[in-house]
Chains A and B, each alone.
Chain A
Amino acid sequence: MQAKTTILSLPTEEFVHPGTRACTGCGLAIAYRVGLKALGKNTILVVPPSCLTVLQGLFPVASTKLPCLNVTFASTAAAATGILATLKSQGKTNIQVAAWAGDGGTSDIGLQALSGAAERGDNFIYLCYDNEGYMNTGVQRSGTTPLGAITANTPFKGKLQQKKDVPAIMAAHHLSYVATCSAAYPLDLYDKIIRCKDMPGAKYFHIHIPCPPGWGYDPRYGIKVGRLAVETGYYDLYEIVNGEFKLTAASEKLVEKRKLVPVREYFRAQSRFKILTDEQIADIQNQIDAKWAAYYKKDEQQ
C-alpha cells in the first residue's frame, strides 16, 4: 500500500496557469489541477467540449502545460485509443494518456465510445468530472443530474429521474480500476490516480465536482458542499480494484464512525434542490440509510 499523500508531500509543480476562464470557485479547477499533478508531465490529454474546454483556454493560448487534443463530444475515449495506438506503433510506452470529460460527455453522448475503449482494454485513464449537468451550455440536465435538481430544462419540477450510476456501468466492463472521487478531497484523487497508473487496460474515475453557478451556492462554500455530499453518505468515495469494492478515504471513516450527517444539510446548502419537499428528503434519507446499513453489515462480517 502506497503512503498517503499529504499537503506537504504533494508535488509543487503545477500544470495549469492562473487566469483561466473557469468561474470563480470552480470545483473542476481544483480537481483538474491536482489530477494533472498525479498524471505528471509525461501525459497526453484528450478533452471533449465542456467547461474544461473553456478552462483550457481559447486559441492561441492554452492554460494547460500538457499536450492536449480537443475532440468532438462523442469521441473522447476513441480518441484516447487513437493516441495510444500511435504511441505503441512509435514504441513510446512511457507516455500516459488521460481523457478528461464532463458528466454529459461521459454518461450520455460519450458512453458508447467509452464502453468500446473499455471493452477493448485500451490502456488509459478516463476521468469523468461530474458537475451533474450540462454546465457549458447553461446548466441542462444530464444522465447524472440527481433526482430533484432544478436545471435549465427541468425548470420547475426538478429532474424526475435518478442519477445514472456510471461507475457501476464501467465496473461491469471488468476494468482493473474504477474509483469515485470528489474535488473536496483532492489528495484522495491524487493517490488514486497514482495507484492505478500501472494497472492494465482502461481505468475509470468519477469525480464529484461542486459548481457554484450550476448548483446554486456561494463560491466560498464549494469545498464544504462537496464534503457534505460525502459526509451525508449521499456520494460515496470508493474504489473497485479488479472487481473488489472498497470504501475509501472519508467514506471509509464514516463506516468506522457509524454516523452520517443528515442529507437535508447537503440539499439545503444549494438552491438547485429548493423544490425538494421534506417528504422527498426523508425518502432519500431512507435510501441512504439502507445503503449504509449494508456497508455496516459488510464491515461487521469482515
Chain B
Amino acid sequence: MGTRNYRRKTSHSEHGPGDGGRTGSWRVERPILDKSLCIPCKRNKEACFICWLFCPDIVISRTIPPKIDLEYCKGCGICAEECPTKAITMVDEAEFSKEDKE
C-alpha cells in the first residue's frame, strides 16, 4: 500500500527518532557511570539494570556496561537516583563544555 499520496493530504506521520530534536542539548547535568560500582559490570553477568528500566527516554542500553546515549539523554537524573549502588553520578554539563574547549 503506497502511502505517499495519502500523506500529501493528511497528517500521516511515520516513526523515527528525535522528533524533539537532539534532546541531549536539554541536559544541565550529565550522567556518568562508574563501572567499578555497577552491579552487572562487577559480576560480569546480567543483573540489576534498574537504570535501564526507569530511564524515561530509553537512552540506557541493557548491556554490560550499560551505555548512555548522550545525543538524547535529557539528564533527568532518575538513573542516578535509582541506582542501588550509586554507580551513576550527575555531573554539571559545564565541566564538559570546558573539556570540549580544551
Contacts and interface: CB of A to CB of B under 8 A. Distances in A.
Do A and B touch (CB < 8 Å)? yes
Interface in A41-71: 57-65
B83 to A, nearest CB: 11
Given A17-B17, A18-B58, A18-B72, A219 B49 contact: no
B57 A220 contact: no
A299 interface: no
A44 B7 CA distance: 19
A158 interface: no
Interface stretch (A8-16, A119-127, A197-205, A256-264): A8-16
Contact of A62 (B19, B50, B82): B19
Contacts of A224: 81
B interface SS class = loop
Contact of B59 (A18, A25, A221): A18
Q: Which range contains the number of A residues in contact with the other chain?
A: 35 or more
A68 to B, nearest CB: 9
B76 A24 contact: yes
Nearest to B24: A19
Interface in B49-102: 49-50, 52-54, 56-59, 62, 69, 71-72, 74-78, 80-82, 90
Contacts of B77: 25, 218-220
Contact of A60 (B14, B50, B75): B14
A21 B78 contact: no
B2 interface: no
Given A8-B46, A26-B56, A30-B56, A17 B18 contact: yes
Interface string A208-224: 00001000001111111
Contact of A61 (B7, B19, B50): B19
Given A17-B17, A18-B18, A60 B82 contact: no
Contacts of B56: 22, 25-27, 29-30, 33, 222
A10 B58 CA distance: 14
A59 B13 CA distance: 5
A18 B71 CA distance: 9
Contacts of A187: 53
Given A62-B13, A62-B14, A220-B80, A7 B22 contact: no
B82 A223 contact: yes
A8 to B, nearest CB: 6
Contacts of A57: 13, 15, 19-20
A17 B19 contact: yes
A186 interface: yes
Contact of A19 (B62, B72, B75, B81): B72
A282 to B, nearest CB: 29
A18 B19 CA distance: 8
26 contacts: A7-B53, A8-B47, A8-B49, A10-B53, A18-B17, A18-B18, A18-B58, A18-B71, A18-B72, A19-B17, A20-B19, A21-B20, A22-B56, A24-B74, A24-B76, A25-B74, A25-B76, A30-B56, A57-B13, A57-B19, A57-B20, A58-B19, A62-B15, A212-B76, A222-B76, A222-B78
Interface of A: 7-8, 10, 12, 14, 16-22, 24-27, 29-30, 33-34, 57-65, 186-187, 212, 218-224
Interface of B: 7, 11-23, 26, 46-50, 52-54, 56-59, 62, 69, 71-72, 74-78, 80-82, 90
